[in-house]
């Protein structure tokens, strides 16, 4: 086996790869950006090298620098993880040319599968079914529109270089085609540096079913069964499971055969995933699925396959790269139980799933039978705007699907995160959704049920506010009593008694607090005296004090409660009527501005697009009126809350 590995990645996957490498006796070499110098994957490594500033383009994507470090540190192989350089054939070639083994497929296989259009053409030749559509070279807008008309709506426009659910637009009707095409091309150019697209028939009630394949350097290719990744939001996976609900032996064999054939067609070596889309309206059938694309790397959701097969896929990757034969044949493999993975993200489902960054004041995961946590951050660390805001993958394995789901839900509800907002509660609600439980899956399930899943604006929970307010009051009372005691021991001064905060028994009328920055008044009575005493911290809530505030946490919900600062003059500004101010919802780039100074807009009209984490977020006019004070040009970098423009209300003459 290799004696050392350089891991060209970060976060959760770098740590996960490092653990297996160490178990196999390798010296672990990490590379990291300036933003990650204290990250767990760096401290875990035997050696670590800083390769540049925070933006991935200046660090994790700089192939030359990583290769230089690998040579200097004497790495025998490079594991690219997923994302970043993992599917970059030039990098794989450069690594091999330097006499270092690349833990992944040959560059030729990456190239063959790298672009969705060419991949489709290639597997079609190997008799693998593909989605009807246009995947040719003509990129003329009118021509593409004609193809969409011919294929029949709804259609899907896909960036040929796309990945990670980005660069895709569903178009319901011909009128909407032109705008969707332009927006897709814009995102494709900015995210992948390639604006070309293909057009596909949109499969109804689509289910995403993918097959894990593995090849060795001796010509063997086998599969490790399927995963169902139909629980998606905006084409990004949210929950993944293995095996796929409703899959029978005959259909599984058909999926497996198609996947292995696709792998063999490109001389595949190592771990790869062949993604299919199945028409879920008639259940999974041997003749009801189509090839979508092949990912020539490890997948984020590989742990569910590890759970049900008992294999460490990263170990198999190292063995295949080292030239070993696959340790098993297809006939040796069997499925043990059911496994489900949920992607725990720092984001706010209640605010359109906006990424949420900041320090992780508390981070605790439960332990339990069948629970596995793959995480790359620790308490005290931070979720930064530079990378994917995933906090952890929470994985549960059980004898049955229901057992796995119950375990996953309990694990999520017992996860404590204070600081960035998370999707924990949303995930728990999804696990309990009747259709999901029943295995009635399709990729539109989440989008159709946002309301039921709680992914809508919600008033803060009153019980949580009261718990937080009382805890703050109790803290303040204890502090004042301590001050009073200190003073009275110094001088017997009756005026220094600390009752100014109106916390003396019988005199308390209310407690003013900031709930997520909004002013709230908690009215209380005699019960307060009792409540502010011992035992307040009980109840079902977890309270985490940090940042001059209290985080009240319950079953994945989190509320930040702070005492208003009487000296903060901006307080009224912040919480008065925001009027027609249009602010950037997040730290990001202003990719498009649709209005000019003086334009008249309707309430809810899209005025701009901010891109963050490679996703486009529309910015809407908060009211009807006239555009004034445009503060930025398209292309500008915006801080969270930066004022972009103002919509001035119409004044009747």
Q: Which of 164, 385, 420, 588 binds ligand ADP (CB under 6 A)?
A: 164
The candidate with the shortest Cα–Cα distance to 167, out of 593, 615, 618, 590, is: 615
The candidate with the shortest Cα–Cα distance to 363, out of 416, 305, 309, 425, is: 416
CA distances from 65 to 12, 94, 326 (A): 22, 12, 33
Question: What one-character DSSP code corresponds to residue 59?
Answer: T
Question: What one-character DSSP code corresponds to residue 130?
Answer: B
Q: How far is the CB of 111 from ligand ADP (least distance, A)?
A: 16
User: Judged by CB, which is closer to ligand ADP: 168, or 265?
Assistant: 168
User: Judged by CB, which is closer to ligand ADP: 165, or 629?
Assistant: 165
For residues 547 to 576, the per-residue mask of contacts with ligand ADP, x marking binding by CB under 6 A and - elsewhere, is: ------------------------------
Instruction: Dig out the tokens for 259 from the structure.
Output: 């996947």
Instruction: Dig out the tokens for 328 from the structure.
Output: 């098993």
- 252, 297, 372, 425: the catalytic one is 297
Residue with tokens 């009593």: 481
Q: Which of 52, 80, 89, 206 binds ligand ADP (CB under 6 A)?
A: 206
Q: Which of 36, 187, 275, 347 binds ligand ADP (CB under 6 A)?
A: 275
The candidate with the shortest Cα–Cα distance to 304, out of 265, 330, 343, is: 343
Instruction: Dig out the tokens for 469 from the structure.
Output: 């307010």
Question: Would you call 194 helix, strand, or coil by DSSP?
Answer: coil
The answer to the question of residue 188 lying near ligand ADP (CB under 6 A) is no
Applying CB under 6 A, the span of 40-48, 94-102, 160-168, 173-181 interacting with ligand ADP comes to: 160-168
Where b means 16+ CB within 10 Å and e means fewer, 549-559 reads bbbbbbebbbb
The answer to the question of residue 288 lying near ligand ADP (CB under 6 A) is no
User: Judged by CB, which is closer to ligand ADP: 129, or 165?
Assistant: 165
The residues, ordered by sequence, that sit 6+ positions from 153 with a Cβ below 8 Å of its Cβ are: 171, 172, 173, 174, 202
CA distances from 238 to 26, 57, 202, 283, 521 (A): 33, 26, 20, 21, 37
Q: Which of 104, 162, 270, 398 binds ligand ADP (CB under 6 A)?
A: 162
User: Judged by CB, which is closer to ligand ADP: 164, or 622?
Assistant: 164
CA distances from 47 to 40, 79, 82, 453 (A): 13, 15, 21, 44
The answer to the question of residue 110 lying near ligand ADP (CB under 6 A) is no
Q: Which of 129, 146, 165, 629 binds ligand ADP (CB under 6 A)?
A: 165
Instruction: Dig out the tokens for 213 from the structure.
Output: 């394949």
- The 3-state secondary structure of 462-528 reads HHHHHHHHHHHHHHHHHHHHHHHHHHHHHCCCHHHCCCCCCCCCCCCCEEEEEECCEEEEEECCCHH
Rg from Cα positions in the chain:
27
Q: Which of 8, 26, 277, 284 binds ligand ADP (CB under 6 A)?
A: 277
Q: Which of 129, 163, 454, 539 binds ligand ADP (CB under 6 A)?
A: 163
Report the chain's terminal Cα–Cα distance, integer Å: 82
Q: How far apart are CA 591 and CA 609, in angstroms?
A: 6
Applying CB under 6 A, the span of 144-152, 159-167, 172-180, 298-306 interacting with ligand ADP comes to: 159-167
The answer to the question of residue 293 lying near ligand ADP (CB under 6 A) is yes
Applying CB under 6 A, the span of 117-125, 199-207, 520-528, 602-610 interacting with ligand ADP comes to: 199-207
Handedness of CA 41, 44, 46, 49 (dihedral sign): positive
Instruction: Give the count of alpha carbons within 13 A of 171, CB side only.
Output: 29
User: Judged by CB, which is closer to ligand ADP: 166, or 557?
Assistant: 166
The answer to the question of residue 131 lying near ligand ADP (CB under 6 A) is yes
Q: How far is the CB of 80 from ligand ADP (least distance, A)?
A: 17
Applying CB under 6 A, the span of 156-164, 358-366, 564-572, 594-602 interacting with ligand ADP comes to: 156-164
The answer to the question of residue 232 lying near ligand ADP (CB under 6 A) is yes
Q: Which of 65, 145, 186, 235 binds ligand ADP (CB under 6 A)?
A: 235
Q: Which helix (H) or strand (E) holds 364?
A: strand 362-364
Q: Which of 120, 169, 208, 425 binds ligand ADP (CB under 6 A)?
A: 208
Q: How far is the CB of 158 from ligand ADP (least distance, A)?
A: 6
Q: How far is the CB of 369 from ligand ADP (least distance, A)?
A: 31
Q: How far is the CB of 154 from ligand ADP (least distance, A)?
A: 8
User: Judged by CB, which is closer to ligand ADP: 20, or 230?
Assistant: 230
User: Judged by CB, which is closer to ligand ADP: 164, or 580?
Assistant: 164
For residues 393 to 432, the per-residue mask of contacts with ligand ADP, x marking binding by CB under 6 A and - elsewhere, is: ----------------------------------------
Q: Which helix (H) or strand (E) holds 207?
A: strand 206-215
Q: How far is the CB of 157 from ligand ADP (least distance, A)?
A: 10
User: Judged by CB, which is closer to ligand ADP: 197, or 269?
Assistant: 197
The answer to the question of residue 203 lying near ligand ADP (CB under 6 A) is yes
β-strand pairing of 77-79 with 101-102:
parallel
Question: What one-character DSSP code corresponds to residue 38?
Answer: T
Instruction: Dig out the tokens for 117 from the structure.
Output: 């259009």
Question: Would you call 387 helix, strand, or coil by DSSP?
Answer: coil
User: Judged by CB, which is closer to ligand ADP: 165, or 618?
Assistant: 165
Q: How far apart are CA 332 and CA 328, in angstroms?
A: 6
Q: Return the bridge partners of 341, or none.
A: 240, 395
Cα 255–chain centre separation: 28
297 is catalytic: yes
Q: Which of 200, 228, 241, 388 binds ligand ADP (CB under 6 A)?
A: 200
User: Judged by CB, which is closer to ligand ADP: 200, or 216?
Assistant: 200
Instruction: Give the count of alpha carbons within 13 A of 113, CB side only.
Output: 29
Q: How far is the CB of 156 from ligand ADP (least distance, A)?
A: 5
Q: Which of 423, 443, 558, 584 binds ligand ADP (CB under 6 A)?
A: 443
How many chain residues interact with ligand ADP (CB under 6 A)? 22
User: Judged by CB, which is closer to ligand ADP: 166, or 361?
Assistant: 166
Residue with tokens 């063959």: 112
Q: Which helix (H) or strand (E) holds 460?
A: none
The answer to the question of residue 192 lying near ligand ADP (CB under 6 A) is no
The answer to the question of residue 156 lying near ligand ADP (CB under 6 A) is yes
Binding residues for ligand ADP, rule: CB under 6 A, are 131, 156, 158, 162-166, 168, 200-203, 206, 208, 232, 235, 275, 277, 292-293, 443
Residues assigned a catalytic role: 297
């Amino acid at each position: 086996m290799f004696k050392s590995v350089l891991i060209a990645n970060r976060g959760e996957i770098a740590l996960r790869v490092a653990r297996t490498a160490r178990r196999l006796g390798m010296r672990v070499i990490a590379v990291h950006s300036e933003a990650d110098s204290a990250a767990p994957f760096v401290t875990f490594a035997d050696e670590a090298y800083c390769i540049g500033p925070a933006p991935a383009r200046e660090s994790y994507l700089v192939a030359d620098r990583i290769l230089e470090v690998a040579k200097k540190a004497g790495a025998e192989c490079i594991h690219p993880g997923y994302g970043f350089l993992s599917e970059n054939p030039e990098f794989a070639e450069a690594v091999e040319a330097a006499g270092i083994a690349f833990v992944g497929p040959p560059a030729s296989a990456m190239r063959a599968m790298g672009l969705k259009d060419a991949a489709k053409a290639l597997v079609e030749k190997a008799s693998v079914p593909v989605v009807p559509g246009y995947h040719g070279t003509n990129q003329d807008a009118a021509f593409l529109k004609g193809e969409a008309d011919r294929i029949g709506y709804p259609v899907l426009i896909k960036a040929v270089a796309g990945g990670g659910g980005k660069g895709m637009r569903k178009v319901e009707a011909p009128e909407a085609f032109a705008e969707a095409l332009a927006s897709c091309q814009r995102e494709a150019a900015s995210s992948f540096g390639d604006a070309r697209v293909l057009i596909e028939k949109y499969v109804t009630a689509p289910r995403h079913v993918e097959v894990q394949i593995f090849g060795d350097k001796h010509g063997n290719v086998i599969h490790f069964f399927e995963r169902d990744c139909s629980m998606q939001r905006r084409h990004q996976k949210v929950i993944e499971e293995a095996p796929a609900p409703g899959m029978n032996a005959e259909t599984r064999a058909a999926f497996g055969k198609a996947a292995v054939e696709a792998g063999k067609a490109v001389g595949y070596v190592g771990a790869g995933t062949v993604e299919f889309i199945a028409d879920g309206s008639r259940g999974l059938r041997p003749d009801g699925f189509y090839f979508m694309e092949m990912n020539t790397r490890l997948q984020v959701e590989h742990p569910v396959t590890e759970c049900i097969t008992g294999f460490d896929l990263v170990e198999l990757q190292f063995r295949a790269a080292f030239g070993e034969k696959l340790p098993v044949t297809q006939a040796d493999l069997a499925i043990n139980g059911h496994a489900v993975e949920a992607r725990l993200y720092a984001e706010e489902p209640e605010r359109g799933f906006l990424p949420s960054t900041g320090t992780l004041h508390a981070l605790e995961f439960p332990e339990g039978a069948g629970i596995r946590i793959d995480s790359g951050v620790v308490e005290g660390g931070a979720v930064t705007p530079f990378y994917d805001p995933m906090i952890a993958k929470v994985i549960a394995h059980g004898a049955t699907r229901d057992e796995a789901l119950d375990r996953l839900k309990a694990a999520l509800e017992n996860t404590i995160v204070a600081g960035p907002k998370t999707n924990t509660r949303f995930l728990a609600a999804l696990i309990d959704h009747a259709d999901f439980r029943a295995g009635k899956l399709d990729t539109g399930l989440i989008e159709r049920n946002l309301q039921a899943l709680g992914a809508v604006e919600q008033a803060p929970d009153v019980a949580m506010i009261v718990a937080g307010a009382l805890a703050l009051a109790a803290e303040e009372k204890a502090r004042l009593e301590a001050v009073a005691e200190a003073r009275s021991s110094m001088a017997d001064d009756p005026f220094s008694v600390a009752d100014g905060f109106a916390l003396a028994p019988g005199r308390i009328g209310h407690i003013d607090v900031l709930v997520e920055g909004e002013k709230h008044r908690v009215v209380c009575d005699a019960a307060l005296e009792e409540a502010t005493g011992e035992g307040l911290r009980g109840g079902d809530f977890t309270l985490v004090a940090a940042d001059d505030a209290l985080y009240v946490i319950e079953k994945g919900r989190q509320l930040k409660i702070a005492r208003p600062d009487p000296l903060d003059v901006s307080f009224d500004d912040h919480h008065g009527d925001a009027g027609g101010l249009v602010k950037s919802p997040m730290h990001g780039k202003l990719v498009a501005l649709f209005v000019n100074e003086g334009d008249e807009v309707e309430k809810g009209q899209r005025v701009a697009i901010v891109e963050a984490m490679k996703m486009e977020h529309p910015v809407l006019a908060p009211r009807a009126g006239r555009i004034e004070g445009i503060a930025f040009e398209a292309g500008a970098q915006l801080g969270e809350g930066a004022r972009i423009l103002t919509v001035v209300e119409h004044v009747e003459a």
